[in-house]
Structure 1
Amino acid sequence: MALVTTTLAGVVFGLALAAPPGPMNAIIAEESVVRGWTAGFRAGLGAMVADVLFFALALAGVVAVIDRYPVVRPILYLAGGLLMLYFAVGALSEASDAASFTDGHRQESTGFRKTFALSLTNPYQIGFWLTVGVGLLESGTLDVLASLPAVGETLSGVLIVQTGSATLLVGFFAGIALWIVTFPAALVSAGRRVDAFAPAAAALSAVVLFGFGLFFLAMGTARML
C-alpha cells in the first residue's frame, strides 16, 4: 500500500510541475492545435527530456555548480527571454498565415527543439532541480500538495511521502508523461470542433511567450545591475 501511495504521490507531483500555464505549455498548445497530437506530444517530450537531463545532472551533483556562480542565473534569464521572444515571433507568423492551418503542407514541427532549448535556459526549471529536485533524491519527506500553485498553502501537510525512493521518482516522471500525452489530445479534440481554434491558439501562444520573454529579460537585467 505504501508503494502505491508513494507512486501516486509522485504522479501528482509530476502533474503539479507540468500542468501550470507557462511558455512550455504555450508551445505544446500551439503545436498540438496547428500540427496535431504527435507534434504536441513531441513538444512536451522536449521539456521532459530536459527534466531527465537535469535529473541526471542533479544525481551527479553537477547542477549544484550553477548555484555557486551568481552571474549564471542572470545570463540564463536573458538567454531564455530572447529565445521566448524569438519563438513568439514565429507563433505570430503562424497565426497570420491562414494557409498553414488549412492545407496539407504545414511546416515541419520544431516543438521538441523549442521546449528543450527553453528548458535548458529556464532559471525556474533549473531552480527546481537545485532545490526540490535534489530533495527528491535525498532520504527525507516531501509535502507533495504544498508545491501546487495557488492552493499549495491550504493543502500543506495533507500528503507527505518519503523521498529518496525510486518509486517516487518513477511516479514523478509518469505524471509528466501523463500530461504531455493527455494535454495535446484534449487540445486536438477541441480544435476539431472549433474552426478558428488553431490560429487563436497560435496567437495566444505568441502572447504568452512574448509576456514571459519580457519578464525574463527584465529579471535578467535587474540581476545584472
Structure 2
Amino acid sequence: MVVSLLAGVLLGLSLAAPPGPMNAVIANESVNGGWRSGVAAGLGAMTADACFFVLALLGVVTFVREFPVVRGVMVGIGGLLMLYFAYGAYLDAQTALSERSAPGAGFRKAFALAITNPYQVVWWLTAGVALLDPGSVEVAGYTLATGNGTLTVVGFFAGIFLWITGFPSVLVTTGRRVDSLAKAVGYGSAVLLAGFGVLFCYQSVDALLKTL
C-alpha cells in the first residue's frame, strides 16, 4: 500500500515539478494574485492531467501520436497561447500587486495551456502510461512494483496537489520578504513562455510542412 502511494506521488512530482511553461504560469499567478491564484492555476493544469488520464484510458492520447497533422495543429495552438500569455505576464510585471486578477482567470489560463501542451502529451505517452499498469510504475528510470493501480493513481494526483499548493506558498512567502520578486518572476515567466511559444510554433510549422 505504502509503495503504491509513494510511487504515484513520485510520478506526479515528475510531471509537475520540472521547470516549464506551466510552472511559469503558476509562479506569475502566485506573485501577482496571491496563493489562491497560484493554486487555482495549478488546479487548472491538474484538471488537464485528469482529462489526459481519462483520454489515455480510452486510447485517445495514442491517436495524437499516430496522426502528425493533429499533433502539429495542437502544438501550434499551444505555441500561440503561450505567446499570448507571455504578453500577459509582461503586463502583470508592470502592474501594481494591488490590482490582482481573479483566481478563476489563472485556472482557465493554465488549463488552456496544459491541454494543448505537447510536452504533457509526450509525458502521457511515456511515463504516464505506467498509471494504466496496475503492477508497476517507472520513475527516474527505475521500475517499482506497486501491486495496486488505484492507490498509484491516488498518489499521482496527490503528488501534483502537493506541488501546486507548496510551490505557490514558497513564492508568496518569499515575495513578502523581497519586494522585487513579483517583477522578477513576472518578467522571467514572460521570457520563458515566449521562448516555449516560439519553439512550439516552429515545431508546429515544421511538422505540418513534413506532412505535405
Letter in 2 for 1:59: L
Distance 1:59-1:44 versus aligned 2 partners, 3 A rule? same
Which residue does 2:202 correspond to in 1? 218
- Aligned pair count reads 208
Note if 1:107 corresponds to 2:88: no
Q: Percent identity?
A: 52
Note if 1:18 corresponds to 2:25: no
Which residue does 1:198 correspond to in 2? 182
- 1:49-103: CA deviation from partner (whole Å, max 9, x where unpaired): 0001111121222322223322111111111110000000111111123xx22x3
**Matching residue within 60, 63, 75 for 1:62:** 60
Which residue does 2:71 correspond to in 1? 73
Distance 1:135-1:196 versus aligned 2 partners, 3 A rule? same
Which residue does 1:131 correspond to in 2? 126
Structure 1's unaligned 5+ residue stretches are: 147-156
- 1:157-186: CA deviation from partner (whole Å, max 9, x where unpaired): 3x5234771111111110000000100000
Give the Cα separation in 1 of the matches to 2:80 and 2:153.
Answer: 32
Which residue does 1:51 correspond to in 2? 49
Letter in 1 for 2:101: Q
**TM-score relative to the length of structure 2:** 0.92
Give the Cα separation in 2 of the matches to 1:55 and 1:129.
Answer: 8
Distance 1:186-1:35 versus aligned 2 partners, 3 A rule? same
- 1:187-225: CA deviation from partner (whole Å, max 9, x where unpaired): 000000001111111111101100110111111111112
Distance 1:45-1:130 versus aligned 2 partners, 3 A rule? same
Which residue does 1:154 correspond to in 2? none
Give the Cα separation in 2 of the matches to 1:132 and 1:121.
Answer: 18
Which residue does 1:92 correspond to in 2? 90
Alignment RMSD: 1.6
Which residue does 1:145 correspond to in 2? 140
Contact 1:136/1:163 (8 A) holds in 2? no
Contact 1:138/1:164 (8 A) holds in 2? no
Structure 2's unaligned 5+ residue stretches are: none
**TM-score relative to the length of structure 1:** 0.87
